[in-house]
Structure 1
């Protein structure tokens, strides 16, 4: 079984599990795993020159700590994953004030949050809780200098882009 299929399978399993099934895990642990798994579905335009994948969590110490633990010694496409303070490739925020306002930063950084209406406010991926399950919402209009795998988009609610034009 290929690595991509394993990651896709793991994500699909997580996406289908309810919080009741994950009751032995805290919401922070579940979100940290989602962030880590989502990173595998992102392909940055500058991927070939990147030496590591940087994940920033500026306003949620619990998720930051969990992510630091679960990404230790892990890689994405032979690049180590680091939880850092700057030069973010992935940014998880809990407060809208921490969404970058500079367009050049926003173009290079995948923003993720669990806040309601995050994608309506310029965020890329919103982790929604629907019927006890996390269901990602992706706003195609907010995607920058990277692509998101169709495997991830298949398990997400999509808004923006051609999707809205066809509705």
Structure 2
């Protein structure tokens, strides 16, 4: 098996940056790469109410093949709290939507599914977390009113723009 050390190093560096501050979409990383890393990192900051019954943590990226491919490579053989992380097309614990025409999917997901969107106004349309680029930076926006069946870590909320809820 051949491991590309340079690629592993880049991914590790990108993960490190995400844990410390909002991401800047430098030319070094594409917005799709940054969003894929955010999806992975966000899953580590979620505590599901039914987590004890979960066999794995499933992330669905159904409408963005680039993010899906990057995330699949990034999460291969990864665990979150001893549960395997899987990129799948159904039974989603985390659902990423990148295209406006798919916003209607939010209405049919179980309440304990974390909905993340890659478009403006996603959180205003029922989504929990929005990842959009603004002035070269990708920063999460969280709507607390759209969170049910899980909690987000305060460490994650510190780096996000938070709306809704009892602020």
How high is the TM-score relative to the length of structure 1?
0.84
Q: Paired residues, what number?
A: 151
Q: CA deviation at 1:47?
A: 0.7
Candidates 99, 106, 112, aligned match of 1:95: 99
Candidates 19, 23, 29, aligned match of 2:25: 19
8 A Cα contact 1:112 1:127, kept in partner: yes
Instruction: Say which SS state the counterpart of residue 161 (structure 1) adopts.
Output: coil
Structural mapping, 1:28-47, within 5 Å? 28-47=32-51
2:58 equivalent to 1:58? no
Runs of 4+ in 1 over 3 A off after TM superposition: none
Residue number in structure 1 paired with 2:123: 119
After superposition, the Cα gap between the structure-2 partners of 1:96 and 1:108, relative to the gap in structure 1 and judged at 3 Å, is farther
Deviates more, 1:64-73 or 1:124-133: 124-133
How high is the TM-score relative to the length of structure 2?
0.84
Q: CA deviation at 1:72?
A: 0.3
CA distance in 2, matches of 1:9, 1:33: 10
Structure 2 residue ranges without an equivalent (≥5)? 1-14
RMSD of the alignment, in Å?
1.7
8 A Cα contact 2:56 2:83, kept in partner: yes
Cα deviations across residues 3-25 of structure 1 (Å, max 9, x unaligned)?
A: xxxxx96434351x4223xx222
8 A Cα contact 1:106 1:144, kept in partner: no
Structure 1 residue ranges without an equivalent (≥5)? 1-7
Cα deviations across residues 12-54 of structure 1 (Å, max 9, x unaligned)?
A: 4351x4223xx22221111100110111000000111111000
